[in-house]
Amino acid sequence: MYRFLLSRQWVILTLIGLVLIPTMVELGFWQLHRHERRVEQNALIARNLEAKPVPVTALTSPGHTVPRADYWRRVTATGTYDTAHEVVVRRRTNADERVGFHVLTPLVLADGRAVLVNRGWIPTAADQQAFPTVPPAARGTVTITGRLKADETTKDSGIKDLAGLPPRQIMLINSAQQAKALGRPVLGGYLEQSAPEPAGSSPEPIAEPDHESIGTHMAYAVQWWLFAAGVPVGWVILVRREKRDRQTAAARSTPEPAPANV
């Protein structure tokens, strides 16, 4: 009755189903892990944004790699802006997804060390090879508050075209690279300035990272698991349909018995 399952077509179909089930289950767990990481990251962001600001020198130093636990931690820094070594970071977007620059200005601390400060976003100029018009930084000694971020690397970003850029334009924010240009020690990582609030024509502030949305990873995980559960159910339905069709075809092809002679 089920001998058709040994046919080439059904063997291939069954093998495909056996491969799809564990694959879909694994994809579901992959999405579940992404969901868990998103929830964990949201908790980390919220915790660090709510924490009381501490001096930046308490969390980082020259050559220091900012650990993930300190990402977005609120810190303060007091010093004077070194606008002579100010650079812009290419291919950055604002909250409206417009492409422009981030303005990166070194803040020289009282001990001579510097910390990189991302002052915000400005639109792209008509001539992208020229240095754009940058709103001036505050003069004199200033105290700012910002969110601590780790150095950007080609490994993390995938950006490779670091050579041949116009003067004072960079692709990645990296304290070690900027330390060479400044000729002074630079604290590891950088700050996204959040206070004081910009006035006048200052760069557009960088928005806080999203720490409320959890995305759709959990929904995708459930979806993959439902697909995995649907494979054997669909296989059984197809088998029963094939059996029924074969029985119907066999009944139609069987000749009716001739009437008996009287």
**Taking 70 as the threshold, does the pLDDT of residue 223 lie above it?**
yes
pLDDT confidence tier of residue 258, bands split at 50, 70 and 90: low
Task: Specify the residue for token string 């960088």.
Answer: 206
pLDDT confidence tier of residue 6, bands split at 50, 70 and 90: confident
What phi, psi does 92 have (nearest 5°)? -110, 145
Q: What is the pLDDT of residues 35-86, one digit of tens each?
A: 999 999 999 999 999 999 999 999 999 999 999 999 999 999 999 999 999 9
Per-residue model confidence (pLDDT) at position 106: 98
pTM, 2 dp: 0.78
**Taking 80 as the threshold, does the pLDDT of residue 94 lie above it?**
yes
Return left, alpha or beta for 64; rule: phi > 0 is left, psi -120 to 50 is alpha, else beta. beta
Closest residue by Cα to residue 167 from 132, 121, 202: 132
C-beta of residue 100 within 8 angstroms of C-beta of residue 133: no
- What is the C-alpha separation between 65 and 46, in angstroms, rounded? 21
pLDDT confidence tier of residue 201, bands split at 50, 70 and 90: confident
Task: Specify the residue for token string 């020690």.
Answer: 185
Type of residue at 126:
A
Alpha helices in 120-216 (DSSP H): 154-157, 175-182
Distance of CA 86 to the CA centre of its chain: 27
Mean pLDDT of 142-165: 82
Q: What is the pLDDT of residues 164-185, one digit of tens each?
A: 789 999 999 999 999 999 999 9
**CA–CA distances in Å: residue 29 to residues 3, 200, 226, 230:** 36, 49, 12, 17
